A = this chain, B = another copy of it.
Amino acid sequence: MKSNTEKNMGKRPLDGVLVLEFCQYLSGPSAGLRLADLGARVIKIENPGKGDLCRILPIKNQWVGDDSLLFHTINRNKESFTANLKSPEELAEIKNLVGKADVLIHNFRPGVMDKLGLGYETVKEINPKLIFAEISGYGSKGPWAKKPGQDLLLQAMSGLMYSSGNQKDAPTPFGLAIGDMLCGAQMVQGILAALVSRNKTGKGAKLELSLLESLLDFQFELLTTYFASGKRPLRSAVNNAHPLLGAPYGIYATSDSHLAIAMIPLADLNAAIGGEKLEDFDQSQVFSHRDEIKSILAEHFKQKSTDHWLGKLRENGLWAMDVKNWKELKQERGYQEMQLEQEVRLPDGKSILTNRCPIRIDGKRMLSEKPAPELGADTEKIKAAFNLFEIQS
């Protein structure tokens, strides 16, 4: 069957790979999205009542038809198959489909797939080549296994909230669903590695990953430093941008906006910006006197405009940048030439703009104009194509 994707873009690396997505919200569906971007056929298995609860999770009260705009951005280029997994007949159809799949992803809480009769030990019997990918909040075992695996809660308990903001600020969340996104990305790594392996061995695998492990992996620098020193890396008192990096690393207010300053040796910085007071410090003090140096710089940068400082820094080959919002970014030629946006066409003829897959292959962007599916839109087509009516119990 020729998918929309193939029609538009030629062959993709995962053409022919069949993925069943038993997922809700963001972590699992983001993994499914990337696999679909890369050419896999991704079928969402949804409850016939509400389906993926993300369909009713609004962001900024924006909707596309009956579904949340968020649902659309994360489920484009997928199909939807509805089944009541508590009905023995429909469960048998699903098992039939599992027998034909390459990958199954789920992000139910631990134990739910087993109760449904779709635990790994069962589906492995049906399909020993299946890659079974299980995303949880906190792992399948241990005292936290049953806790709700929600991004902000995981950020809160993973220590992550002590990396952004300044030292005296409250614990500061990353303002996006970083746990969901990282976990989804890492699960794709596991799934694809298992597919590479299966080509040699013919065997499937069970993969497990939790949001907590992903968030801790993300903090590997902080944790390794903490393990080595026994001291928690502290955010800087002012202009913090990374608890492990010395002065001047940070964002500084200027007379008209803000400036990002990367790792720059103090002497070079001093020469470029004429900051006399920095002459009292040398490079060996960028950690020990981090906050003092940053405070002096903060006062200094306030005196002139961002353009003034960028000119001084860049003519000396030093790493600095102005801070943009999305509106400013979108107006830049560099953004436009990147061609990041793609149109997704909705069944009613309207369209939405969203991001394409960020990876380019052989110089080509990978676009997918197929929208997120309406609930159950592909059930009958899939039943017919896979002969699911012939139940093999």
Residues of A within 8 A of B (CB): 11-17, 34, 38-39, 57-62, 69-70, 72-74, 138-139, 141-144, 148, 150-165, 170-178, 181-182, 185-190, 192-197, 199-200, 205-210, 212-214, 216-229, 232-233, 235, 240-246, 249-251, 253, 258, 260-263, 287, 319-329, 333-334, 337-338, 340-341, 352-355, 357-363
Complex interface: chain B residues within 8 A of A358 (CB): 186, 209-210, 213-214, 216-217
Complex interface: chain B residues within 8 A of A199 (CB): 196, 199
Q: List 30 A-B contacts (CB under 8 A).
A: A34-B186, A38-B193, A62-B225, A69-B224, A70-B221, A139-B337, A142-B338, A143-B337, A155-B260, A156-B251, A158-B329, A164-B174, A165-B175, A170-B253, A171-B258, A171-B323, A173-B240, A176-B219, A178-B178, A181-B218, A185-B189, A188-B189, A190-B361, A192-B192, A199-B199, A206-B361, A217-B357, A223-B354, A227-B341, A228-B353
Alpha-carbon distance between A391 and B257 when the two chains are bound, in angstroms: 56
A324 & B159 in contact (Cβ 8 Å cutoff): yes
Closest CB in chain B relative to A343 CB, distance in Å: 10
Identify which of B73, B188, B338, B361 contacts A212 (C-beta below 8 A): B338
B187 & A189 in contact (Cβ 8 Å cutoff): no
A172 & B165 in contact (Cβ 8 Å cutoff): yes
- With A196-B196, A214-B358, A224-B353 known to touch, is A235 a contact of B175 (CB < 8 Å)? yes
Complex interface: chain B residues within 8 A of A242 (CB): 152, 173, 175-177
Alpha-carbon distance between A118 and B32 when the two chains are bound, in angstroms: 35
Closest CB in chain B relative to A206 CB, distance in Å: 5
Closest CB in chain B relative to A57 CB, distance in Å: 7
A164 & B172 in contact (Cβ 8 Å cutoff): yes
Closest CB in chain B relative to A9 CB, distance in Å: 14
A176 & B156 in contact (Cβ 8 Å cutoff): no
A354 & B227 in contact (Cβ 8 Å cutoff): yes
Closest CB in chain B relative to A149 CB, distance in Å: 10
Complex interface: chain B residues within 8 A of A73 (CB): 220-221, 224
Complex interface: chain B residues within 8 A of A323 (CB): 156-157, 161, 171
Complex interface: chain B residues within 8 A of A207 (CB): 359-361
B171 & A175 in contact (Cβ 8 Å cutoff): no
Alpha-carbon distance between A225 and B70 when the two chains are bound, in angstroms: 8
A14 & B159 in contact (Cβ 8 Å cutoff): no
Closest CB in chain B relative to A123 CB, distance in Å: 14
Complex interface: chain B residues within 8 A of A352 (CB): 224, 227-228
Complex interface: chain B residues within 8 A of A158 (CB): 324, 329
Alpha-carbon distance between A243 and B325 when the two chains are bound, in angstroms: 13
**Chain B residue at minimal CB-CB distance from A156:** B260
Alpha-carbon distance between A176 and B158 when the two chains are bound, in angstroms: 14
B57 & A263 in contact (Cβ 8 Å cutoff): yes
Identify which of B170, B197, B210, B361 contacts A194 (C-beta below 8 A): B361
Closest 5 pairs (CB-CB, A-B):
A163-B175, A192-B192, A13-B197, A156-B260, A213-B358
